[in-house]
Amino acid sequence: MSAPTPRPRTKAQAAPGAAAPDAAAPGAAERRKKDAAPRRRSSGARKELVERQILDRATALFAERGFAGTSLQDVAEASGLTRPALYYYFSSKEELLARLVRETTMDAAEQLEALPELAPEEHLRELVRTSTTFQARHRDQFRLLLRSEAELPADVTELYTDGRRRVFRAYQSVIERGVTAGVFRAVDVRTVTLGLIGMVNWVTWWNQPDVDIAAVADEFAELAVASVLLHRDRDAAPASVHAVMAMLKDDLALLEHHLGETERS
């Protein structure tokens, strides 16, 4: 009886003890990584695109119905997703809202804090320009937050409040520096800070897509500086008795500010 004839090996079969062709080929692992990278990038880009769409739909719904009056099912339907599919991106309304807060108040604060330290006058201009431009670009998100402050969950309220405090401190520190340097009048720093931030916040309500926001930001910046700048041109004769009184008032206020600083130190 003759021995059975060995079956020929296919390309997919390796000889006994030999490594698999893919593993044996030089650089195979690296090639697999490179091939997978574009797929991961594509998947990541799609996820970001869908998240952006969900956030935009949620912003519109929260603004229209309020946070409490909007369900996760409402957001899913507006986004063209099933509710289970929505859970892949966001687990709750609170997570959606927290993301919106981070993208508005926290990002706004980070932009102001990242500005280089300039002379007080120019630094204030840059603060107002940056704030105005950011506020206009995120109009719907800011409208939502301003309307829904009373409805925000406790953890989101904490995040929102922290962002607003950081914006306040950015303005406050520049105005204080300008007053101390004798560049700005001895104003009530808190009052002026709140007034300037309030001016910028109103862009949220009246700005329209066809408005030249760069021009608005420049105008606001000049208004802000003019409202605090100490005019010390003594060479030009005052135009009126009122102008003389205003100059004397500025000088007395600045003197009082410096005396107070000396007493505290």
Residue 195 φ/ψ, nearest 5 degrees: -65, -45
Instruction: Determine phi and psi for 27, rounding to 5 degrees.
Output: 75, 15
Same domain? For 62 and 168 the reply is: no
- Are 54 and 131 members of one domain? no
Return the higher-pLDDT residue of 263 and 192: 192
Whether 82 and 119 map to the same domain: the answer is: no
Q: In this prediction, what percent of the chain has a pLDDT beyond 70? A: 71
- Shared domain check, 74 and 172: no
Judge whether 3 lies within some domain.
no
Could you tell me if 128 and 220 are in contact, meaning their C-beta atoms sit under 8 angstroms apart?
yes
Expressed as residue numbers, the domain containing 50 is 32-91
pTM above 0.75, yes or no: no
Closest by CA to 204, choosing from 143, 147, 161, 265, is 143
Give tens-digit pLDDT for 94-149.
899 889 888 888 999 999 999 999 999 999 999 999 999 999 988 888 888 887 78
Whether residues 215 and 115 fall in one domain = yes
Q: What is the mean pLDDT of the chain?
A: 80
Nearest to 136 by CA among 214, 82, 197: 214
Rounded to an integer, the average pLDDT of 198-211 is 86
The larger pLDDT score, comparing residue 259 to residue 80, is at 80
Residue 160 and residue 256 share a domain? no
Centroid of chain to Cα 84: 29
What pLDDT is attached to residue 131?
96
Compute the distance between CA of residue 161 and CA of residue 180 in angstroms, rounded to an integer: 28
Burial of 115 by CB count in 10 Å (0-12 exposed, 13-18 middle, 19+ buried)? middle
Number of domains making up the chain: 3
Output 84 or 27, whichever has higher pLDDT: 84
Which residues share a beta bridge with 229? 184
The answer on 224 and 258 residing in a single domain is no
* 125 and 79 in a common domain: no
- CATH (domain of 102): 1.10.357.10
Q: What are the residue ranges of helices labelled H in 66-151?
A: 72-78, 83-87, 93-101, 107-113, 120-137, 139-148
Is residue 19 in some structural domain?
no
Q: Name which of 108, 102, 123 is nearest 200 in CA terms.
A: 108
Q: What is the pLDDT of residue 44?
A: 76
| 224/235: higher pLDDT | 224
Mean pLDDT of 18-45: 55
Same domain, 179 and 128: yes
Residues, the chain? 265
